[in-house]
A and B are shown apart, each in its own frame.
Chain A
Amino acid sequence: MPRIMKLHRYIDHESQMTPIDFQVTRGCFQVYVTHKFRAAIGKTKLVRDGEKVLVGISGGPSSCALLHLIQEGLSQRAHKKLRFKPGLLFIEEGQVVGQSLEERKVTLTRIHSLLRQSGFPYHLCKLADSLDLERVKTLSACQSNHAAVNKMNQSAMDINTAAVNKMNQSAKDINTSAGNKMNQSAMDMNTCINPVEGDKGEVEKSGHGENCCDLLEMNREAEKLFAAQLGSIKSISGKEDFVRALRHRLLLEFARQHGYSKVMLGNTGSQLAVRLLTDISTGRGMQAAMETAFADRRNTDMMFLRPLRDFSSKEIAMYNNLHRLECVFIPSLTTMGDVGASIEHLTEAFVTGLQAEYPSTVSNIMRTGEKLDSSSAVDIESHCALCQGPLDTDVGMSSALAALRFSLEISTMGKSNGKRCIKGDNSVNNTNDELCSNGVNYDAKVECCGESDGSCRSSTQLSVPDEGLVLQTLCYGCRIVAMEMDDVNSLPEFVMKDVAWRNRRSVMKAEIQDFLLDDR
């Protein structure tokens, strides 16, 4: 006699996965999922009323489920409806796997219709945009279909942000079906979101729908740059890490520029368990806790939330099946690859295999992740320049990092075989983890203008910093990726800017070192 779970009387308040051998009715399952989702958001009290939250949609099953849950939660008929203002963002990543333009257009069109039906304002951008963050500012939101909005959501809680070149006009560009109060607040929001000059941005036609594929045509230089950088990373694991760091950065920047205060992602518990193990295997132990927590506070101004973290992928699949949700399949670097293609792929196979034999594996891993401390670093200088995680390289001499460095040194006896001279050239007795720099290797000595706000433009091109300096600003995991590249200086622009800024600050600090009372 199979055990029946009667949900209308008792709901499990612990954040646990569904017991596998229970049978449930459809109604109970729907209640269960909705309750868990709402509890995850409500329990932490992190999302305030009226807050703008950016929801990252990848097109996969968990994103679709998340979208649907948000829609259900926000709709009028929901019991105690949710109260935040979501905006959707899709990041097009066809370039990573080398898809052709036609294939990318097909995907983009499908996603576009999916997003449009939701009734929320949505944005489309591509991964290569992360290399050209200036441009991100000028991307505007696409108008949701006015008719669809009326159909879906009577209490149209969202605003359509106007196109850039209409910014300078008055409020008549805003078309919501809400009252005047909404118009007023929408107008205020518009004026403070896109404070850019009208001529810089691309012209987006209103009701822009069908021209979404313009996205692929724009900014070809960034795409080329991205392809070059991605190509120079040799291993697939490294590529995946790089893509992930860029994606995170793009989400962050986009949310910042467009006035969102939080980002919501649809990672499920099973995916996060794989992520935890992968992070440990790639040397990112310190960030592992952050990546699997409900609230990722890596950046103090932008919180990343993961409300689906208590669900297993089976539950999400059942939910999608129940509501007949359509997902868009987007191939990744390891799709159809063999098990040993990358570390993440291997870990996924490992966890799934283990879960089949020991059903509590994923929940054990998640529980371990919860107990780990995801303390955020205090100041911006102790963040990795690439992934924004905390820097974990300030370890003593008796540590894995020091041991590895020593091994490399002793295996090459200081002879650099070409360019890789960063590790441990005659730096045996360093007490802190300064990687060797063969003297600062600046191309041209330029005079600093003296302003210390990072706006120094004393030469048209920033002088090329030494490899050692760049690596110093990266965490252990990102260093592995960076060292696979042919030229560390070909890292994205935001990384290089950060490196240069930190270098200037350390020079400044060295000058005033004697007078600093607090050793920080």
Chain B
Amino acid sequence: MPAICTVCSKGAILKRPKTGNALCKECFFHAFEEEIHHTIVHAELFKRNETIAIGASGGKDSTVLAYVLKLLNDRHDYGVNLVLLSVDEGITGYRDDSLETVKRNQEQYGLPLKIISYEELYGWTMDAIVKQIGLKNNCTFCGVFRRQALDRGALMLKVDKIATGHNADDIAETVIMNVLRGDIGRLRRCTAITTGTDGALPRCKPFKYTYEKEIVMYAYFKKLDYFSTECIYSPNAYRGFARAYIKDVEKIRPSAIIDIIHSGESLSVKKDIRLPVQGVCERCGYISSNAVCKACVMLEGLNKGLPRLGIGKTHKERRKMQEMLQQETGAADSTPCTDQSLKSSCKCENKTDQSECSSQTYDSDNASGCSTYSKSQKCKDGCSSTNPRTVAKEKLSIFGKLKQPPSIDF
């Protein structure tokens, strides 16, 4: 017996993963689009005459997002200007293919496109980073760098907001992952539909309540073209565990994904828990909860041949560096200062102590992290093997106060 669409009573061709109702194609399109419209309207995501950058990776979420936002913008007259923004991490075999898709999207939807690459911003591609750090913890680098890259690109285009294609499954995974990791600050923020309203560019997630399966279904029936491969470096990511769990729970109870988001929204944190406070990075001026932002720390580590600088425990890394300096530098004045400054501020767990380590003998080295690329290129070639000799010659500037490098004004 053929199934009947529960809305218009014609023949149904699919079953909705979210609610289990049988629907025909047009009713499904209508339901899908109206739900996103409902989300946008009730969360007040867009205002008239704003410029919105759509984070486009070429994957299913961003392709469908671009399509649907353009459609809804025309249909319901939001009055926003849409642009596509894409980030090239430099992963061969993955990113270069997906960028072709984005370029196709640009032609199909008639939206302007900007591509920004890690190479041009930081001087490192993900391939090179993975060679240094290995296959575990590389997602940390990519994620931190991409966030900054999106913001910088958006600022270059002078947009008001960034819209990303994070769907319900992603948010549910993030909630579970944050519980597993014990990251209470992120746990509180991750279910918000708009984040980053103070300081940096706000980002919104119009797909927050949309199931991944429904996005795929929509793209399939609308014959939208996208690039669908997993990042080649991702299989060992911690997020994979959370994702597998979510998929299994969804099999048992399809509404579980929305249930998890609801739980995440109703979680409240005790008042006396210390949460990170937002400040500004000293070196590049980007927002940061520590004195130096994570991207700068990571870059410094990569450039000096200590790739785990951004990842390992702070005090251990400092100890390693101290040992390295002691081995190499014959200069007497730097060593006692190093000892003293590290001793006083090496109280380990508190990351903000990093900034207190001020020592005048450290030369204000040119910011080898963010803006000067030629130096970092040289450095990259020089220290592909972690040879302590070449590393220690340059004074480690990460723990000293520097002059502000010229950078984009946030």
Query: Which secondary structure dominates where chain B touches chain A?
Result: helix
CB-defined A-B contacts under 8 Å, sample of 21: A279-B263, A280-B175, A280-B263, A284-B263, A285-B265, A285-B266, A288-B267, A346-B252, A350-B245, A368-B184, A372-B270, A395-B266, A398-B43, A398-B44, A399-B262, A400-B262, A406-B35, A407-B35, A407-B209, A411-B23, A412-B7
B261 contacts the other chain (CB 8 A): yes
* Pair A404/B245 contact, Cβ less than 8 Å: no
- How long is the Cα–Cα vector from A255 to B381 in the complex, in angstroms? 73
Q: Is A368 a contact of B187 with CB atoms below 8 Å?
A: yes
B114: interface (CB < 8 Å): no
Given A280-B175, A373-B270, A406-B35, residue A354 in contact with residue B180 (CB < 8 A): yes
Distance of A286 Cα from B262 Cα, bound (Å): 9
Q: Is the CB of B179 within 8 A of A281?
A: no
Pairwise interchain contact A285-B6, C-beta atoms closer than 8 A: no
Taking a contact as CB atoms closer than 8 A, the residue among A288, A367, A371, A411 that contacts B7 in the complex is A411
Residue-wise interface mask of A (385-425) relative to B, using a CB-CB cutoff of 8 A (1 in contact, 0 not): 00000001001111111111011101111010100000000
Contacts of B208 in A (CB 8 A): 403
- Complex CA distance for A235 and B256, rounded to whole angstroms: 13
Contact A237 B253 (CB under 8 A): yes
Q: Are A371 and B269 in contact (CB under 8 A)?
A: yes
Which of A339, A364, A392, A417 makes the CB contact (< 8 A) with B181? A364
Contact with A along B16-58 (1 / 0, CB 8 A): 1011010100010011001100110011100000000000000
Name A325-374 residues within 8 Å CB distance of B: 339-340, 342-343, 346-347, 350, 354, 361, 364-365, 367-368, 371-373
- What interface size band does chain B fall in? 35 or more
Using Cβ atoms and an 8 Å threshold, which residues of chain A touch B265? 285, 395, 399-400
Selected contact of A403 from candidates B178, B209, B256, B266, CB within 8 Å: B209
Whose C-beta in chain A lies nearest to the C-beta of B248? Answer: A346
Q: How far is the CA of A401 from the CA of B38 in the complex (A)?
A: 13
Question: B195-219 vs A: 1/0 string, CB under 8 Å?
Answer: 0000000000000110000000000
Q: Which residues of chain B come closer than 8 Å to A400, judged between CB atoms?
A: 209, 258-259, 261-262, 265
Question: Is A476 interfacial (CB-CB < 8 Å)?
Answer: yes
Docked pose: A283 CA to B260 CA in angstroms: 6
Contact B262 A283 (CB under 8 A): yes
A277 at the interface (CB under 8 A from B): yes
**What residues of B have a CB within 8 angstroms of the CB of A364 in the complex?**
180-182
Chain B residues, Cβ within 8 Å of A410: 7, 30-31, 34-35
| A281-B255 contact given A368-B184, A403-B35, A411-B16, CB 8 Å threshold | no
Q: Does A375 contact B (CB under 8 A)?
A: yes
- Whether, in the assembled complex, B165 has its beta carbon less than 8 Å from a beta carbon of chain A, the answer is no
Q: How far is the CB of B94 from chain A (nearest CB, A)?
A: 26
B6 touches A413 (CB 8 A): yes
Do residues B182 and A285 form an inter-chain contact, with CB atoms below 8 A?
Answer: no
Chain A residues lying within 8 Å of B23, measured Cβ to Cβ, are 411
The answer to whether A285 touches B264 (Cβ under 8 A) is yes
Judge whether B259 and A281 touch: CB under 8 Å: yes
Q: B38: which A residues are within 8 A, CB to CB?
A: 403, 406
Shortest distance between the CB of A242 and any CB in chain B (Å): 15
Contact B31 A361 (CB under 8 A): no
How many interface contacts (CB-CB < 8 Å) are there between A and B? Answer: 156
Determine if A282 is an interface residue (Cβ-Cβ < 8 Å): yes
For A276-312 the 0/1 string (1 means CB < 8 A from B) is 1101111111101100000000000000000000000
Q: How distant is A497 from chain B, measured CB to nearest CB, in Å?
A: 27
Closest to B249 in A: A281
Residues on A with beta carbons closer than 8 Å to the beta carbon of B273: 371
State the majority secondary structure of interface residues on A: helix
Are B256 and A277 interface neighbours, CB within 8 A?
Answer: no
Nearest Cβ on chain B to A389's Cβ, whole angstroms = 11
Q: A480 interface residue, CB < 8 Å from B?
A: yes
Q: How far is the CA of A365 from the CA of B16 in the complex (A)?
A: 33
Residues of A within 8 A of B223 (CB): none
In the bound complex, residues from chain B placing their C-beta under 8 Å from that of A354 are 180, 241
Q: Which of B34, B253, B261, B269 has the most CB of A within 10 A?
A: B253
A412 to B271, CA, bound (A): 43
Whose C-beta in chain B lies nearest to the C-beta of A278?
A: B249
Chain A residues with CB under 8 A of B131 = none
Residues of A near B249 (CB, < 8 A) are 281, 343, 346
Interface size class of A (residues with CB under 8 A): 35 or more
Q: How far is the CA of A281 from the CA of B39 in the complex (A)?
A: 22
- Chain B residues contacting A407 (CB-CB under 8 Å) are 18-19, 31, 35, 209
Bound Cα distance A225, B256 (Å) = 29
Q: Are B252 and A412 in contact (CB under 8 A)?
A: no
Given contacts A403-B38, A407-B35, contact A276 B179 (CB under 8 A): yes
- Given A371-B270, A398-B42, does the pair A340, B180 have CB atoms closer than 8 Å? no
Tell whether, in the assembled complex, residue B267 and residue A372 are in contact, meaning their CB atoms are under 8 Å apart: yes
Q: Which of B18, B248, B267, B270 has the most CB of A within 10 A?
A: B267
Tell me the complex Cα distance, A395–B267, Å.
13
Does B82 sit within 8 A of A, measured CB to CB?
no
| A408–B187 alpha-carbon span in the complex (Å) | 28
- Kindly state whether residue B393 has any CB partner on chain A within 8 Å: no
Is B128 in the interface zone, CB < 8 Å from A? no
> A285: which of B8, B248, B267 is its contact (CB, 8 Å)?
B267
Please name all residues of chain A whose beta carbon is closer than 8 Å to the beta carbon of B402 when the two chains form the complex. Answer: none
If A403-B209, A412-B21 touch, whether A340 touches B252 (CB-CB below 8 Å) is yes
Is B31's CB under 8 angstroms from A411's CB?
A: yes
Q: Which of B16, B180, B262 contacts A476 (CB 8 A)?
A: B262
B176 proximal to A (CB < 8 A): yes
The chain A residue sitting closest to B16, CB to CB, is: A411
B268–A411 CB distance below 8 A: no
Is there an interface contact between B187 and A417, defined as CB atoms closer than 8 Å?
A: no
**Nearest CB in chain B: distance from A359 CB, A:** 13
| 0 or 1 for each of B158-192: is its CB under 8 Å from A? (1 = yes) | 00000000000000000110111110100100000
B307 CB to nearest A CB, Å: 22
12 further contact pairs, Cβ within 8 A, besides A407-B19, A412-B7: A283-B260, A285-B263, A361-B180, A371-B269, A371-B270, A373-B270, A398-B44, A404-B255, A408-B19, A410-B7, A410-B30, A411-B19
B327 to A: closest C-beta gap in Å:
29
B193 in the interface (beta carbon within 8 A): yes
A343 with B18, Cβ < 8 A, contacts A365-B179, A413-B7 known: no
Cα–Cα, bound, A477→B16 (Å): 22
Q: How far is the CB of B39 from chain A (nearest CB, A)?
A: 7
Residue of B nearest to A354 (CB): B241
Given A283-B262, A395-B265, A407-B19, A343-B42 contact (CB < 8 Å): no
* Residue interface bits B229-251, CB-to-A below 8 A is 1, else 0: 00000000000010001001101
Q: Which of A178-199 contact B (CB under 8 A)?
A: none
Contact indicator A277/B259 (Cβ below 8 Å): no
- Give the CA-CA distance A406 to B43 in the complex, in Å: 14
A422 to B197, CA, bound (A): 37
**Is A412's CB under 8 angstroms from B6's CB?**
yes
Nearest A-chain residue to B8, judged by Cβ: A413
B6 closest partner in A (C-beta):
A412
Q: Is the CB of A403 within 8 A of B39?
A: yes
Which residues of A, 444-479, contact B by the 8 Å Cβ criterion? 476-477
A373 touches B266 (CB 8 A): no
A283 partner residues in chain B, CB cutoff 8 A: 259-260, 262-263
A286 CB contacts on chain B under 8 angstroms: 263, 266-268
Chain B residues lying within 8 Å of A340, measured Cβ to Cβ, are 248, 251-252
Within the assembled complex, what's the spacing in Å between the Cα atoms of A395 and B7?
Answer: 28
Evaluate contact between A401 and B35: CB separation under 8 angstroms.
no
Shortest 10 CB-CB distances between A and B: which pairs? Answer: A285-B263, A283-B259, A403-B209, A400-B262, A364-B182, A398-B43, A411-B21, A286-B266, A280-B263, A398-B42
Q: Are A368 and B193 in contact (CB under 8 A)?
A: no
Distance of A377 from chain B, by nearest CB (Å) = 12
Decide: A373 and B31 in contact? CB cutoff 8 A.
no
A281: B residues at CB distance < 8 A: 176, 249, 256, 259-260, 263
Known contacts: A285-B265, A407-B35, A411-B6. The answer to whether A343 contacts B179 by CB under 8 A is no
